[in-house]
Structure 1
Amino acid sequence: MTADLTTVLRNHLSDIDAGWSIGSFGAIGEFHQRPSDTLLVDAPERLTRVTEKGAIRLEIDRLDEVTPIAFETLSPRPERWGQGLALCLPKQKAMGSKRSALTEIGRDAQALHPAGQTQILFDMGLGQPQIDFCIRTSEPELLKVLRAETGRSLFEPDNPAMAAILKAHPARAVLSPLGRVEVYQKIGGPDTDGVSPDGPHTHVLPNLLRTGRTHSANTPIPEGLVPCANLHPASPVMGNRGEDIPFQRDRFAGFQALLTSYGLPDYLVTKTQVLAALDAADPDSLSEPGTRLKRVALRNTLRQQARLAELSADADRASICGQLMRRFDFNAATRDELGADPERPGH
């Protein structure tokens, strides 16, 4: 499995439409590429890529320990769905330092951008289970503030360190046992008109951090595993900025192959049942599943098959998909315990 997984990761690293993230529920670093980016380091043999805006490195020597989980998520829009590949470790191998106060680590010798290797790394002390969310700087004024406030929580009301960080926009490095994502662009906020920069960026959401969770409840990670890095393959229905795009059959087929290899059995069984009912033109053979995971599989498979039927001008299949979606998708959205994931990968 490791050789196959390594190949999957290398191939997607060279796909500028794929995205990557390392984070927890409330603190995340994302690496995205754009055609105009300058490629500074391209080292697929080390699962490393660096641009002028950000970088990623995955720990290739630890892939033997990884359980990959391919998954699909619901979108708030019924013509869409999300997809991802979570690289998971057993809980006992997945934990970070869980520092709860601002801490100076020292020079970042492992920095992916050469300029960062002489800068000073600080753990922001977010106390998250599987990640250390850090900033890196050599800016004298920021270093002065950070060193004066080490040992304190950034969220103390009278702590000036967070305001200094937001003003200076230092590089961020999000570390997990499986690698790191670095971001060199500005922090989303007042200086970016309240939106995250296009491409690599970070999010820190204090209200979500307080849950102490490793991932969203909408990401179906089996008990005992923790996602330590995520691949977000290019969406067949959505562009990099969250815009609608014409259905991309090759992207869809590519991820379905990943899902077959790494998806959860109950999810795959439900997809097979839905496809069999559609092929037999027997919508009455389907009933609402009893688990959350299977309900997502049912709804997403119908959405996908409706898009494929539209693409191939198969009016009969599209009609059956519409009938089943009215029965299981739109009505279920008002009573299901599931929320819907955000529209853009990694968010």
Structure 2
Amino acid sequence: MSVSPHPDPAGLRAVLGRALADPAASWSLGGYGAGASFRRDPDEPAEPPCGGRPGLVTPRGALVLGEADELVPFAYETALGGGAWSQALALCRPVAALPPCPAPAVSELGPDREAARAEDRDGTLFCLGLPLRQARILARVRGGAVALLRAACGRPADAALWASLPGLGATLVAACGRDRIEVVLPDAHPGPRAHWFDKLLRLGRLHAATAPVPAGLAPVIHLHPPHPLTAEGRYDAGRHAAFQAVLARWGDPALVALKRRILASEAVAVPDTRPARAAARVAHAQRRCLA
């Protein structure tokens, strides 16, 4: 199945704005094997980034959507085990527009002029040189930590360097253009998190095989709207309807139609493709919940 997503910047800005106001929404930026995620507690103080950019800044991290509304949206659901599923709105770039991977070594980039907080702009950025096209994985440090990371320049980043970043007072930054997530280290769950899984990263994939992202697109940012199944075990019909509207606008039309027919209890011959089988599993799970 294939789909040609259409950007609809105004509609996308409205969806992103509502998600920024919802503490139950979470975000991720990066690629398969490395990146950062952002979420906040309902009572956690938050303010917009400096410079009038859309986003959120909390004591534990930051999300900046500097040009997210210029990306290509694609919505999808993923079937999980035990009748569960996930949902996401992927904001993508054409693969042909992605830069090559950075040089595989730590390098100094200079002051962080795009920092979410004005007071962090004098911090020094270092690129960790991870083999990732969708984002750059960076560390921002100041003071004596600058000299320590300068000493690592020219060599590949390794697990020991990654493990040392919290002790250096570093902030991990996953950035793509003017979009970024900042994570104050050490990170904690739930909250902004940084991740690097070297075995996955070395596979060179643009996304998980279970994500039916159209060919030619690479997801850069994921918005994870609040799931209809709540932590209390309830099924939130409002959350379900909200994401189904997003799915209808930016999902694969064939998969959306297939799921709609199954939800309506029609007899359907499911195409023998991975995305179609997954959509059918999601539909059956949702039908049970809606009943």
TM-score over 0.5 for the pair: yes
Question: Is residue 190 of structure 2 the alignment partner of residue 220 of structure 1?
Answer: no
**Cα distance, 1:32 vs structure 2:** 0.2
Give runs of aligned pairs for residues 197-208 of structure 1, distance below 5 A: 197-208=189-200
Equivalent residue, structure 2, for 1:229: 221
From the CA coordinates, give the structure whose radius of gyration is larger. 1
Q: TM-score, normalised by structure 2?
A: 0.91
Q: Which of 128, 131, 135 does residue 127 from structure 1 map onto? A: 131
**Cα distance, 1:69 vs structure 2:** 0.5
Percent identity at matched positions?
32
Q: SS at the partner of 1:73?
A: strand
Distance in structure 2 (CA, Å) of the matches to 1:224 and 1:124: 27
Equivalent residue, structure 2, for 1:291: 273
Listed as ranges, the gaps of 5+ residues in structure 2 are: 1-7
Give runs of aligned pairs for residues 162-311 of structure 1, distance below 5 A: 162-177=162-177, 179-187=179-187, 196-239=188-231, 245-276=233-264, 278=265, 285-309=267-291
Q: Which of 29, 50, 64 does residue 36 from structure 2 map onto? A: 29
Q: Which residue identity lines up with residue 70 of structure 1 in the other structure?
A: A
Question: Is residue 8 of structure 2 the alignment partner of residue 12 of structure 1?
Answer: no
Pairwise CA RMSD of aligned residues? 2.1
Q: Which residue identity lines up with residue 272 of structure 1 in the other structure?
A: R
Distance in structure 2 (CA, Å) of the matches to 1:204 and 1:265: 34
Deviations 1:261-290 (A, max 9, x none): 0111221121123134x1x5xxxx334431
Q: Which residue identity lines up with residue 264 of structure 1 in the other structure?
A: D
* Greater CA drift, 127-136 or 286-295: 286-295
Q: Which residue identity lines up with residue 106 of structure 2 in the other structure?
A: L
The aligned length equals 284
Aligned residues of 2:40 and 2:191 also touching (Cα < 8 A):
yes
Give the direction of change, closer, same or farther, for the CA distance of 1:169–1:270 in structure 2 (3 Å limit). farther
Distance in structure 2 (CA, Å) of the matches to 1:149 and 1:38: 36
Give the direction of change, closer, same or farther, for the CA distance of 1:111–1:43 in structure 2 (3 Å limit). closer
Deviations 1:167-213 (A, max 9, x none): 335111101136101111414xxxxxxxx432111111111111112
Aligned residues of 1:185 and 1:197 also touching (Cα < 8 A):
no
Distance in structure 1 (CA, Å) of the matches to 2:230 and 2:127: 35
Distance in structure 2 (CA, Å) of the matches to 1:99 and 1:136: 18
Q: Which residue identity lines up with residue 254 of structure 1 in the other structure?
A: A
Distance in structure 2 (CA, Å) of the matches to 1:14 and 1:94: 30
Give the direction of change, closer, same or farther, for the CA distance of 1:45–1:6 in structure 2 (3 Å limit). farther
Q: Which of 77, 85, 90 does residue 72 from structure 1 map onto? A: 77
Q: Which residue identity lines up with residue 71 of structure 1 in the other structure?
A: Y
Give the direction of change, closer, same or farther, for the CA distance of 1:98–1:266 in structure 2 (3 Å limit). farther
Question: Is residue 150 of structure 2 the alignment partner of residue 147 of structure 1?
Answer: yes
**Cα distance, 1:100 vs structure 2:** 1.4
Task: Between the two structures, name the one with larger relative contact order (CA 8 Å, sep ≥ 6).
Answer: 2
Q: Which residue identity lines up with residue 14 of structure 2 in the other structure?
A: T
Listed as ranges, the gaps of 5+ residues in structure 1 are: 188-195, 310-347
Runs of 4+ that moved beyond 6 A? 42-45
Q: SS at the partner of 1:125?
A: coil
More helix by share: 1
Q: SS at the partner of 1:82?
A: strand
